[in-house]
Amino acid sequence: MSTPLQQPILSLNNIEVIYDRVALAIKGVSLEVPQGGMVALLGANGAGKSTTLKSISGLLKPERGEVTRGELRFMGQDIDALLPQARVQLGIVQVLEGRRVFEHLTPDENLVAASAVVGSNRAELARHLEMVYGYFPRLHQRRNAQSGYLSGGEQQMLAIGRCLMGRPELIMFDEPSLGLAPTIVADMFRVIRQLNADGMTVLLVEQNVAVSLHLADRAYVLENGRIVLSGTGADLLHDEGVRQAYLGL
């Protein structure tokens, strides 16, 4: 768990999201992510977790969604009007569900391509490559293989590594353990914990609620597009309603 919480780096105030100008997916969500902290976003399938992340990263428009109300602020700046690339350059990245990498490129080439988004120079590129491979030694061993032939776990490592190439301020994970073997999942959470310990702010959507609450400083529970519960990870881990609804206890 990270050090004591600082001021919010990200705040959502009464956000509403509509798809196709009709379907209201997010209904007045407010939350804060503290600088250097780790926050978990919990809820059943369809509760609005991924939509919330995409409202922050700016990835709603390709899915015909838009923020129609409320305020999104990152490092004190209103970001609602910014394009996704501008948000990346500010320091916001999202590791999308599904391990989306360029399968015809090697891990090295994938990482170099990702660095171009933020305009890294040669020295920064070398430093960031070293940093990514430090977190993922297995990926370094496979750095010259075609990415389409990597295992699911290795592709997830690469997806995270691509996001790290710009040295972001905030990294958001959308179901990072989905479809991975238990040993790989343990490694993935170890890296997420280490990233946070190294000072990176984390917003986590994860199907393994128990692990999320153990890792997170604070958590929010979404239900039908609304925040219905919030508290420290420890408090929600011992909340009877959360235990029955999400932990099967």
Cα 165 to Cα 171: distance, rounded to the nearest angstrom: 11
Distance in Å from the first CA to the final CA of the chain: 24
* Residue 125 included in any domain: yes
Dihedrals phi, psi of 248, to nearest 5 degrees: 70, 30
Dihedrals phi, psi of 75, to nearest 5 degrees: 50, 40
pLDDT attached to residue 3: 44
pLDDT attached to residue 6: 64
* Residue 157 included in any domain: yes
What total number of domains does the chain contain? 1
Count of alpha carbons within 13 Å of 189, Cβ hemisphere only? Answer: 23
Task: Encode pLDDT of 143-181 as tens digits.
Answer: 999 999 999 999 999 999 999 998 899 999 999 998 888
CATH at 214: 3.40.50.300
Q: Is the pTM higher than 0.85?
A: yes
| Helix intervals (H) in the chain | 49-57, 84-90, 107-115, 122-135, 137-141, 152-164, 182-197, 209-215, 233-237, 240-246
Q: How many CB atoms lie within 10 A of CB 182?
A: 8
* Residue 68 included in any domain: no
Cα 181 to Cα 204: distance, rounded to the nearest angstrom: 19
* Residue 20 included in any domain: no
**Pairing mode, if any, of strands 38-42 and 218-223?**
parallel
Radius of gyration, CA atoms only, the chain: 18
Task: Encode pLDDT of 64-108 as tens digits.
Answer: 999 999 999 999 999 999 999 999 999 999 999 877 889 999 999
* Residue 74 included in any domain: no
* Residue 54 included in any domain: yes
Residue 97: domain span: 35-59+81-246
Q: Is the dihedral of CA 92, 94, 100, 106 positive or negative?
A: positive
* Residue 72 included in any domain: no
* Residue 9 included in any domain: no
